[in-house]
A = this chain, B = another copy of it.
Amino acid sequence: MNTSLDCLVCFLRQALDAARMISSDVMVQEQIMREVMAWTARMDLGAPPPVVGQRIHRRLRELTGVKDPYQAVKDQGNRMALALLPDLEASVAKARDPLDMALRLALAGNVIDMGVNSSVSPADLSAAVGQAMTASIQGPLEEFRKTAAEAHTILYLADNAGEIVFDRLLIAQLGPERMTVAVRGGPVINDATLADAEAAGLDQMVRVIDNGSDAPGTLLHDCSETFRRHFESADLIVAKGQGNFETLSREAHTLFFLFKVKCPVIASHVGFPVGTHVLTTPRTESRPTATQEKGGA
């Protein structure tokens, strides 16, 4: 998707939040703000928002000299989620529809997003689980179920640390034996990397690769060739989180996005309010049919 004018305001807020989280040096905070404003003043609004996110966080790592500023936050997210895992597994085990329950819980885990929430407590996480139990998922659930049942190979694009523990439930339901999970190729915000996949025990149950990119989304041109081969050949791609939606929403693939709507711009794109749990597919340009072209009903 394109970057909207509202996203520009949000980039600055995110840059300031991130700078304050990573460094107490006001000169670093001021410098990153000035640089972000200068970039965004000239940015191509045809590019998806994670292009700026990638650049902000690269520059923050450079300015502070810290390779993975969110490491502690990610460790905490993984630990918090792992503590809940036995209960979550029990919920799936006793569910009448285990796939539906696993989808709900994978969506609950999407609350652990430092790009949007500056901190997530165990209470926030439990509240998100509670909400996921009652809030229905908006989207083509039956189509997803059918596609998943028929797929020989599934590529699962993970999103955040902590959230990937919740993803274990959905991965188990979809079948780890035919699946590859892809994490980010380098640290960016609290997005999951290979180290996080190990901390979450994901590497013990499924093949995990990294995508070769440090964008908080999936910018295909920035990803490794290995990743792109997986992407091209998968029968089904499951993509978690807004960042993956923002970067892949126009890809003509058998792709299902799974995320919690977190901002008004995405809300207007998907047609559901902020907070909605959404399962959705790419918006590829659909050619008008002959009837439509002639103005017929």
Number of interface residues of A (CB under 8 A): 19
CB atoms of B29 and A8 under 8 A apart: no
Contacts of A30 in B (CB 8 A): 5, 45
Within 28-62 of A, Cβ neighbours of B (below 8 Å) are at 29-30, 33-35, 37-38, 40-42, 45
Contacts of A45 in B (CB 8 A): 30
Choice from B26, B33, B35, B41 contacting A8 with Cβ under 8 Å: B33
* A29 shortest CB reach to chain B, Å: 6
Shortest Cβ-Cβ A-B pairs, 4 listed:
A37-B41, A38-B41, A9-B12, A37-B37
- A143: CB under 8 A from chain B? no
Choice from B8, B13, B34, B40 contacting A42 with Cβ under 8 Å: B34
A13 and B16 CA atoms in complex are apart in Å by: 14
Chain A contacts to B: CB under 8 angstroms? 5-6, 8-9, 12-13, 16, 26, 29-30, 33-35, 37-38, 40-42, 45
Q: Specify the main secondary structure of chain A where it touches its partner.
A: helix
| New A-B contacts (16) at CB < 8 Å, excluding given A5-B29, A34-B41, A41-B41 | A5-B26, A5-B30, A5-B33, A6-B16, A8-B37, A9-B12, A9-B16, A12-B12, A34-B42, A35-B41, A37-B37, A37-B38, A37-B40, A37-B41, A38-B41, A38-B42
Contacts of A33 in B (CB 8 A): 5, 8
Contacts of A12 in B (CB 8 A): 8-9, 12
A37 and B33 CA atoms in complex are apart in Å by: 10
A227 and B30 CA atoms in complex are apart in Å by: 35
Contacts of A5 in B (CB 8 A): 16, 26, 29-30, 33
Contacts of A16 in B (CB 8 A): 5-6, 8-9
